[in-house]
């Protein structure tokens, strides 16, 4: 439209501190570029591509490729318009927003010919921004102080950890030596004599058992001889033997003469002395005539004997009581020490006591050796346990130390802490450097929204965003993950959660640890340019 | 947006085990019927070509001025049919066949025709015992009625254009009493007695039994098209533009269905159905409009296809075996035969003819042609605000933000989730302040909940569809147990429309528009995920009206509601998924739940082209793909394609990662921004194309053969298309493409690359190297296209902006075009004739613009003349002022600097 295509030079009224200054320049030109737009001189496009008469500046037709001839109209697609926004922040808007019926500049200068009713809101905005900035500055200031503390605490903590680690590593060395020493002690000094004493004891007992057995055997033979010697002539004959069907060695249903003779060593009869060798051949088969239905005593061995029941008190295992406060990671380690460290076996024989053939109790000397060895073992095990605990501690500390807690360790205080936020449906839980989870408020199981992945902020400051990944999978979707955005504040608190995209969560987290040092020139930077 | 929620729901219902069986990303074919599983289709398809049992009783002929009636008799069962023939104005012949005396009335489709079509006189030219010859008025066209067997041939001069029942496949299953011993009407002709199990009176598919109180009611008819090798249309199918022969395979099916993860290149039914087929050869274009809303199957066979594949098997084809011929057969489950034969002869004539029957494309508000940002779902008001701001931050234009089902209070449409959207008006006002709009979804299934006002009113007014036993029909959909309002009832529609009034639809404002999804209707636990055929709409079975349901939902129900709320002044904008013939009158359609795959991007072109051929121009596909997640490359290419398709909306499934245009890195953001900007710059042209579509019924997105009907090279092209006549688009739909080969049609014509202005000759295959920023688009030499190159954040912001005219000269150094301007959103263009419609022409070095009766603030900022030579001087004729210009000799582009005349004024620019 021709009416708006005239050269528009506007008058800018800048309200400073009590003084008014008029600055003439073409519409949409920032003061910093004013010198390029000199009235009555040909205008050279700012990219130098061409020179046009000055009346073609802001004539609502795009002549320059870079759009610089139309800073105050919408004619060039790539141009931008400068709003002075007195009282607030000056800004550039794309020139497509000039006269589009929408108020973009708070000083209304972008809508000079659209009929849009815009109100100058710059002062309001400026005041509000001022307030916000003030508040922010205060928060930042306090936050930054807190951060210094956190840094100090972090450093101290880190130092402590390092010291502890060194200490532990030293103690570990000692402990290792001790364990080695104990191992030797147990093996050589305590277990060897114990073993020998036990063996001695066992041997004596076994010899005794053999003697008893031999005696029993002899008695049995005598009984058998008497039984067999039906005619009581002091000799066992072939005929006498033939009545014992169990001795039917060829299983033809009868004990033939030849079989009986063979059993008697090729003679027709034997006396008591010769019966000894016969007996040894037949004693396993021989059935006593006086006990026709034998209760098969061999099978009657009491049940208990089969399975020595070890009263397996698990209390005796190395356990948690002296582990450090960290409890999360130990599960897997428990299993590294299988049941070989079984409880003392010395107790088990007592259990077999009912058996008539039970081993007699150890004599005092042997028992003393056993007790000594047991004690040594326990010592050894305890030391080993202590060593493992120490390893755990070292691992935990090393793990903690290995986290990137920020350039000055300011995030270290978040370690092993958890922060919750309750919404209408869920309780969200952020455990920094560990995991994020979600639990329905009214029952239901917890869902893992991601475990600690990495710092993921912009290049300028990666410590503004945390990324938690590989949470519980979604139907037809990715594994859940959470992005945690950190902003400066005095407290440490989760302020909001959302799920902008299915299974991709966003959490806002306030912490002093990201508070920047307030710049000394602030906060009065929002002035008009001069 | 049928989704995994269905999956969940399916589990709940215990009927969707099929989803668990692998192949998550493919349709479960077993869930949908094949022809063999649809009793009437199986029955009818078993009927082989041969001697028809139907005979015309010539002595029953009655001829009034415009109507001829004649009885037909089926010699097998002696049932009489009544044939009605009409000659309609505009070269259309209507053939209606019904029972002479049906036991009760058979369903005739209402509300699709815009009125009783005006007729023309018919006269009998000659008559004997074998038949009669009727004059069809113009151009020596005759209609020959053969008596024994019955057959119709439409001839022009010595040529047969089209024949009916030439293969003897006319079948009309008459109504009968259940007890009647089965006479084995025509359908059982070849089969003898072994057809008892054919599902005449009852039919079961999967766990659903269809009680068929009316027994068999199918109708069928064959059409022969001598000289035709290319047929198109009968959407909606995810298939190529040119229809394939169905011999040995499934017929194309028309039955509105909510198909979960549909497959491509396949004749399965989809969400919408338009029973219109176009037949084309270099001499003539014709159309067949089979007006029947029941489940319909279409068989296509071709002797040329047969020759290459099956040799002589198809020797039943009448006439010389050397003449190519296509045979088509329509089979519908109920209703009557009511066919409109549109005789062309030009493609544009067929469009005019079809529009004269069912109306033209609604003229959308200009904003509806701009960019739409949708997602299932924008979570809450803050999310909406952030997305709105995201567009401004990234300087990307956007007109609409859409809300899917999650915005409602528990899937109760017309309500808002009280936690996520507590202040909908604040949200809408915020969007309005940016001169943008919103759309909220309103689906036609209503939660059965006595605490829900809409449900209570529908129930109390007895407006629900009934089940076969007379109770309210209930099925499962998003809200769980749902009722389905009977949109075929005009009172129901009027009531529904009234629900869009600002005082009824709480939280709505004038910049809130509507989206009707799931209106096939989708019934999760129904047979084939839709309504039981024996459900009742008043007197009629759902079987009769199925394909109409979606049209009614969008019809006076929703679109009319939007008109009414404004007091009749504002044009509505309603998107629908289901549609039927006539749906073009009510708004936009989209291709449903596609997927983020290259093939789905590719298929969007033929799918929308097919819809354009049958009147539905405002078509689009979900940009980016609904299911799955697109790569950045696919997303960019999809934006570049969508920017040149009529309805331009990005949409995404609930389970996919966010994909607003700025989430793929600065380079891709810039590429997407540029694609959307190209769309906005071209909005004046799009808008005027839709004005034309509204006035004339010509498609906006056009198959090449429509404009180049004699060029056989264009007949199967469906990877490029025209917008109107003047823009040719070949978007890039291949992953990693380095170039595309575009066919530039038109011997002796020239085309100008719209980006470089380079000129190319027509009638050639042109290889175009492409980069990620390339969108190959060409302007036809001889055309003038207006653009608004000052792209702003929404179309409304651009209302008063000036135009740049792109004058692309033909080799004869002439060009013409037009400029259409109105207020962009009211009916005043119609009711008050408030519009500017100027003819622009460039002849003899003078560019002129004439006629208008509306005013605009827009002016002509710039004129580019492509293919020009350098003038010595350029003047404005009205005041003889001279116009500055620049001439680029390398591309022969003359740029007139700021001629400045008002876009509504008479003017002329002279090149000296």
Contact (Cβ atoms closer than 8 angstroms) between residue B898 and residue B862: yes
pLDDT digits (tens, 9 = 90+) for A492-516: 999 999 888 888 899 999 999 999 8
If you count them, how many residues does chain A have? 530
Name the E strands within B508-610: 512-516, 536-537, 540-541, 574-576, 588-590
Angle ∠(A483,A487,A493) on CA atoms, nearest 5: 80
Mean pLDDT of B296-315: 66
Instruction: Give how far B182 is from chain A: nearest CA, Å.
Output: 52
CB contact under 8 A, A475 and B4: yes
Residue of B153, B593, B711, B718 with catalytic role: B593
| Tens digit of each residue's pLDDT (9 = 90 or more) over A284-329 | 777 776 655 444 444 444 444 444 344 444 444 444 444 444 444 4
Looking at CA atoms only, how far is residue A78 from chain B in angstroms? 10
Residues of B in contact with A500 (CB under 8 A): 379, 383, 658
Mean pLDDT of B819-827: 97
* Residues near B684 by beta carbon (within 8 Å), at least 6 away in sequence: B786, B787, B788, B803, B819, B820, B821
- Return d(Cα B220, Cα B333) in angstroms, integer: 9
CA distance B299 to B305: 14
Among the ranges given (A334-338, B17-21, B351-355), the one the predictor scored with the smallest mean pLDDT: B17-21
pLDDT tens digits, A215-273: 888 888 888 888 888 787 878 888 777 777 777 777 777 778 877 788 777 788 788 87
- Compare B303 and B155 and report the one with higher pLDDT: B155
DSSP A222: H
- Across the interface, of A77, A96, A502, the residue whose CB is closest to B655 is A502
Give the one of A102, A476, A501 whose C-beta lies nearest to B4's C-beta. Answer: A476
Chain B interface residues (partner A, CB cutoff 8 A): 4, 7, 24, 379, 383, 395, 419, 433-435, 654-658, 677, 789-793, 796-798, 800-802, 857, 859, 861-862, 897-898, 900, 902
- pLDDT tens readout for residues B620-657: 999 999 999 999 999 999 999 999 999 999 999 998 88
Contacts 24+ apart (CB under 8 A), A399-407: A399/A329, A400/A161, A401/A158, A401/A161, A401/A162, A401/A165, A403/A433, A404/A455, A405/A154, A405/A158, A406/A154, A406/A463, A406/A513, A407/A463
Shortest Cα distance, chain A CAs vs residue B524, angstroms: 20
Q: Which residues of B touch A476 (CB under 8 A)?
A: 4, 24, 655
pLDDT of residue A23: 67
- Higher per-residue pLDDT: A1 or B36: B36
pLDDT above 70: residue A530: no
Q: What is the mean pLDDT of residues B384-393?
A: 97
Read off the pLDDT of residues B790-800 as tens digits, 9 standing for 90 and up.
999 999 999 99
B823 is catalytic: no
3-class state of residue A68 by DSSP = coil
Give A-chain residues touching B434 at CB under 8 angstroms.
102
| Catalytic residue of the set B517, B622, B711, B718 | B517
Mean pLDDT of B289-306: 90
Across the interface, whether the CB atoms of A77 and B658 are under 8 A apart is answered no
Could you read off the pLDDT of B719-773 as tens digits, one per residue?
A: 999 999 999 999 999 999 999 999 999 999 999 999 999 999 999 999 999 999 9
Q: What pTM did the predictor assign?
A: 0.81
Residue B149, preceding peptide bond in cis (omega within 30° of 0): yes
Nearest to B792 among A61, A96, A502 (CB): A96
Q: What residues of A are in contact with residue B389 (Cβ under 8 Å)?
A: none
The answer to whether B535 and B542 have CB atoms below 8 angstroms apart is yes
A contact set with B (CB within 8 A): 1-2, 5, 59-61, 63, 74-75, 77, 94, 96-97, 100-102, 114, 424, 474-478, 498-504
Task: Answer with the residue of higher pLDDT: B612 or A355.
Answer: B612
* Spatial separation of the C-alpha atoms in residues B558 and B657, rounded to whole Å: 32
pLDDT in tens, A415-472: 989 999 998 889 999 999 999 999 998 888 999 999 999 999 999 999 999 999 999 9
Cα A470 → chain centroid: 13
Closest by CA to B646, choosing from B626, B616, B603, B669, is B616
Closest in B379, B433, B900 to A498, CB measured? B379
pLDDT band at B843 (very low <50, low <70, confident <90, very high): very high
Backbone angles phi, psi at A486, to 5 degrees: -105, 130
Average pLDDT over residues B188-203: 61
| Percent of chain B scoring above 70 in pLDDT | 93
Question: Mutating which of B790, B795, B800, B897 best tests the A interface, going by the most A Cβ atoms within 10 A?
Answer: B790
Please report residues of B whose CB lies closer than 8 A to that of A73.
Answer: none
pLDDT tens across A318-359, in order?
A: 444 444 444 444 444 444 444 444 444 444 444 444 445 677
Give the pLDDT confidence score for residue A332 in this predicted structure: 42
Nearest Cα residue in chain B from A502? B655
Contact B290, B33 (CB under 8 A): no
Distance CA B134, CA B123 (A): 6
Q: What is the pLDDT of residue B305?
A: 57
Between A1, A75, A97, which is nearest B857 by CB? A1
- Sorted by where each starts, the structural domains of chain A and their CATH numbers stand as 4-120 (no CATH), 412-514 (2.70.130.10)
CA A367 to each of CA A191, A193, A316, B337: distance values in angstroms, whole numbers, following the listed order:
12, 11, 21, 110
Question: Which residue pairs, CB below 8 angstroms and at least 24 apart, start in A324-327?
Answer: A324/A389, A324/A392, A324/A393, A324/A396, A325/A416, A326/A392, A326/A396, A326/A416
Q: Is the pLDDT of residue B311 over 80?
A: no
pLDDT digits over B575-610, tens only? 999 999 999 999 999 999 999 999 999 999 999 999
Strand, helix or coil for residue B784: strand
Residue B517 a catalytic site member: yes
DSSP string, A481-507: EEEEEEEE-SS-EEEEEEEEETTEEEE
Distance (Å) from the alpha carbon of A385 to chain B's nearest alpha carbon: 49
How far is the CA of B513 from the CAs of B405, B501, B575, B593, in angstroms?
14, 12, 9, 21
**Alpha-carbon distance B10 to B22, whole Å?**
16
| Residue B800 with chain A: CB contacts under 8 Å | 114
Query: Which residues in chain A have Cβ-Cβ distances shorter than 8 Å to B24?
Result: 476
Question: What is the complex's ipTM, to 2 decimals?
Answer: 0.87
Interchain proximity A61–B898, CB inside 8 Å: yes
Partner residue opposite A77 with nearest CB, options B379, B655, B789 = B789
d(CA B523, CA B518): 8
Task: Tell me if B658 and A504 make a contact (CB, 8 A cut-off).
Answer: yes
What mean pLDDT comes out for the span B537-543?
A: 97
Phi, psi (deg, nearest 5) at residue A461: -160, 95
CA distance B613 to B715: 13
């Amino acid at each position: 439209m021709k009416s708006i295509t005239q050269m528009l030079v506007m008058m800018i009224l800048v309200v400073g501190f009590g003084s008014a200054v008029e600055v003439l320049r073409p519409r949409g030109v920032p003061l910093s570029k004013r010198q390029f737009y000199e009235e009555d001189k040909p205008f050279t496009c700012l990219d130098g591509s061409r020179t046009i008469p000055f009346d073609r500046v802001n004539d609502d037709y795009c002549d320059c490729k870079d759009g610089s001839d139309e800073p105050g109209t919408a004619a060039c697609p790539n141009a931008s318009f400068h709003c002075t926004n007195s009282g607030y922040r000056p800004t550039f808007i794309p020139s497509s927003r000039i006269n589009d019926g929408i108020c973009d500049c708070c000083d209304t200068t972008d809508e000079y010919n659209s009929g849009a009713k815009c109100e100058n809101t710059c002062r309001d905005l400026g005041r509000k921004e001022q307030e916000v900035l003030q508040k922010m500055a205060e928060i930042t200031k306090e936050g930054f102080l807190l951060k210094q503390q956190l840094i100090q605490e972090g450093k101290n903590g880190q130092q402590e950890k390092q010291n502890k680690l060194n200490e532990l590593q030293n103690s570990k060395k000692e402990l290792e030596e001790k364990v080695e020493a104990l191992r030797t002690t147990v093996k050589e000094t305590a277990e060897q004599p114990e073993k020998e004493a036990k063996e001695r004891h066992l041997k004596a007992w076994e010899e005794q058992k053999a003697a008893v057995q031999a005696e029993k055997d002899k008695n049995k033979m005598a009984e058998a001889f008497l039984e067999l010697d039906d005619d009581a002539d002091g000799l066992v004959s072939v005929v006498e033997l033939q009545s014992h069907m169990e001795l039917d060695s060829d299983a033809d249903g009868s004990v033939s003469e030849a079989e009986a003779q063979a059993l008697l060593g090729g003679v027709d009869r034997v006396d008591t002395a010769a019966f000894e060798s016969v007996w040894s051949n037949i004693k396993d088969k021989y059935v006593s005539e006086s006990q026709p239905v034998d209760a098969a005593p061999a099978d009657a061995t009491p049940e208990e004997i089969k399975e020595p029941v070890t009263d397996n008190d698990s209390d005796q295992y190395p356990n948690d009581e002296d582990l450090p406060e960290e409890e999360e990671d130990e599960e897997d380690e428990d299993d590294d020490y299988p049941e070989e460290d079984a409880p003392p076996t010395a107790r088990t024989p007592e259990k077999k006591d009912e058996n008539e053939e039970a081993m007699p109790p150890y004599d005092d000397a042997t028992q003393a050796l056993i007790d000594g060895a047991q004690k040594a073992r326990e010592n050894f095990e305890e030391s080993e346990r202590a060593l493992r605990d120490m390893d755990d501690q070292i691992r935990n500390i090393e793990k903690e130390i290995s986290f990137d807690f920020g350039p000055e360790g300011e995030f270290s205080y978040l370690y092993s802490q958890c922060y919750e936020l309750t919404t209408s449906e869920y309780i969200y839980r952020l455990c920094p450097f560990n995991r994020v989870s979600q639990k329905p408020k009214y029952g239901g199981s917890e869902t893992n929204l991601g475990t600690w992945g990495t710092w993921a902020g912009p290049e300028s400051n990666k410590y503004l965003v945390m990324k938690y990944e590989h949470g519980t999978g979604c139907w037809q979707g990715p594994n859940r993950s959470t992005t945690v955005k950190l902003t400066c504040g005095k407290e440490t608190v989760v302020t909001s959660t959302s799920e902008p995209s299915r299974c991709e969560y966003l959490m806002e987290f306030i912490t002093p640890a990201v508070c920047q040092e307030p710049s000394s020139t602030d906060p009065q930077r929002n002035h008009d340019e001069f | 947006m049928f989704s995994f929620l269905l999956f969940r729901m399916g589990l709940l219902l215990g009927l969707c085990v099929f989803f668990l069986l692998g192949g998550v990303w493919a349709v479960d074919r077993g869930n949908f019927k094949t022809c063999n599983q649809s009793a009437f289709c199986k029955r009818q398809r078993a009927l082989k070509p041969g001697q028809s049992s139907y005979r015309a009783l010539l002595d029953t002929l009655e001829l009034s001025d415009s109507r001829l009636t004649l009885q037909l008799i089926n010699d097998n069962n002696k049932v009489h049919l009544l044939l009605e023939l009409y000659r309609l104005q505009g070269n259309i012949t209507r053939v209606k066949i019904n029972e002479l005396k049906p036991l009760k009335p058979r369903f005739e489709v209402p509300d699709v025709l815009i009125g009783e079509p005006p007729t023309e006189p018919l006269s009998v030219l000659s008559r004997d015992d074998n038949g009669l010859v009727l004059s069809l008025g113009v151009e020596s066209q005759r209609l020959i009625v053969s008596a024994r067997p019955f057959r119709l041939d439409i001839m022009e001069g010595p040529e047969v254009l089209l024949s009916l029942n030439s293969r003897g496949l006319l079948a009309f299953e008459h109504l009968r009493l259940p007890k009647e011993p089965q006479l084995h009407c025509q359908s059982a002709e070849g089969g003898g007695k072994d057809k008892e199990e054919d599902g005449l009176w009852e039919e079961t598919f999967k766990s659903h039994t269809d009680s068929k109180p009316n027994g068999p009611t199918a109708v069928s008819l064959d059409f022969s098209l001598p000289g035709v090798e290319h047929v198109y249309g009968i959407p909606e199918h995810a298939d190529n533009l040119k229809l394939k022969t169905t011999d040995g395979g499934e017929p194309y099916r028309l039955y509105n269905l909510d198909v979960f993860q549909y497959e491509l290149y396949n004749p399965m039914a989809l969400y919408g159905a338009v029973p219109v087929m176009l037949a084309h050869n270099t001499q003539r274009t014709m159309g067949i409009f089979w007006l029947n809303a029941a489940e319909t199957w279409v068989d296509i066979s071709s002797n040329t296809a047969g020759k290459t594949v099956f040799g002589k098997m198809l020797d039943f084809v009448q006439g010389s075996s050397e003449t190519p011929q296509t045979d088509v057969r329509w089979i519908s489950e109920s209703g009557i035969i009511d066919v409109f034969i549109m005789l062309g002869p030009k493609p544009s004539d067929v469009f005019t003819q079809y529009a004269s029957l069912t109306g033209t494309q609604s003229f959308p508000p200009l904003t509806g042609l701009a960019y739409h940002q949708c997602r299932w779902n924008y979570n809450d008001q803050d999310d909406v605000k952030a997305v709105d701001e995201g567009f401004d931050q990234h300087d990307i234009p956007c007109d609409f933000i859409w809300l899917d089902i999650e915005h409602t209070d528990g899937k109760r449409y017309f309500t808002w989730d009280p936690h996520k959207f507590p202040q909908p008006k604040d949200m809408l006002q915020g969007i309005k302040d940016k001169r943008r709009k919103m759309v909220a979804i309103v689906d036609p299934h209503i939660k059965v909940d006595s605490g829900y006002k809409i449900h209570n009113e529908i129930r109390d007014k007895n407006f629900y569809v009934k089940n076969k036993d007379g109770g309210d029909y209930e099925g499962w959909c998003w809200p769980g147990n749902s009722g389905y309002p009977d949109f075929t009832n005009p009172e129901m529609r009027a009531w529904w429309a009234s629900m869009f009034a600002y005082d009824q639809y709480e939280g709505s404002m004038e910049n809130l528009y509507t989206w009707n999804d799931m209106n096939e209707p989708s019934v999760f636990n129904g047979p084939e995920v839709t309504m039981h055929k024996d459900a009742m709409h008043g007197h009629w079975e759902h079987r009769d009206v199925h394909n109409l349901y979606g049209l009614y939902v969008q019809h006076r129900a929703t679109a009319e509601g939007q008109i009414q709320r404004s007091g009749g002044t504002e044009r509505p904008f309603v998107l629908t998924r289901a549609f039927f013939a006539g749906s073009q009158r009510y708004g936009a359609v989209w291709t449903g739940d596609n997927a983020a795959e290259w093939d789905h991007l590719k298929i969007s072109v033929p799918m929308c082209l097919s819809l354009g051929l049958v009147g539905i121009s405002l078509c689009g596909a979900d940009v980016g793909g609904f299911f799955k997640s697109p790569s950045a490359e696919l997303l960019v290419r999809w934006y570049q394609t969508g920017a040149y398709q009529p309805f331009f909306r990005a949409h995404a499934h609930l389970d996919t990662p966010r994909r607003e245009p700025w989430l793929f890195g600065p380079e891709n953001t810039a590429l997407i921004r540029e694609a959307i900007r190209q769309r906005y710059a071209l909005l004046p042209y799009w808008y005027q194309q839709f004005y034309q579509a509204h006035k004339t019924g010509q498609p906006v997105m056009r198959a090449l053969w429509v404009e180049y009907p004699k060029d056989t090279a264009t007949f199967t092209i469906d990877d490029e298309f025209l917008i109107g006549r003047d823009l040719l688009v070949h978007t890039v739909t291949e992953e990693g493409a380095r170039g595309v080969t575009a066919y530039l049609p038109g011997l002796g014509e020239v085309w100008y690359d719209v980006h470089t202005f380079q000129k190319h000759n027509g009638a050639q295959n042109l290889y175009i190297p492409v980069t990620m920023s390339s969108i190959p688009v060409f302007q036809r030499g001889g055309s003038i296209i207006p653009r608004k190159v000052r792209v702003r954040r929404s179309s409304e912001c651009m209302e008063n902006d000036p135009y740049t005219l792109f004058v692309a000269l033909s080799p004869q150094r002439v060009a013409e075009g037009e400029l259409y301007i109105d207020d962009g959103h009211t009916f005043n263009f119609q009711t008050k004739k408030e519009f500017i419609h100027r003819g622009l022409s460039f002849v003899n070095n003078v560019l002129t613009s004439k006629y208008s009766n509306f005013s605009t603030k827009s002016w002509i900022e710039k004129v580019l003349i492509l293919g020009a030579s350098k003038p010595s001087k350029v003047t404005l004729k009205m005041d003889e002022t001279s116009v500055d210009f620049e001439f680029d000799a390398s591309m022969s582009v003359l740029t007139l600097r700021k001629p400045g005349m008002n876009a509504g004024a008479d003017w002329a620019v002279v090149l000296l």
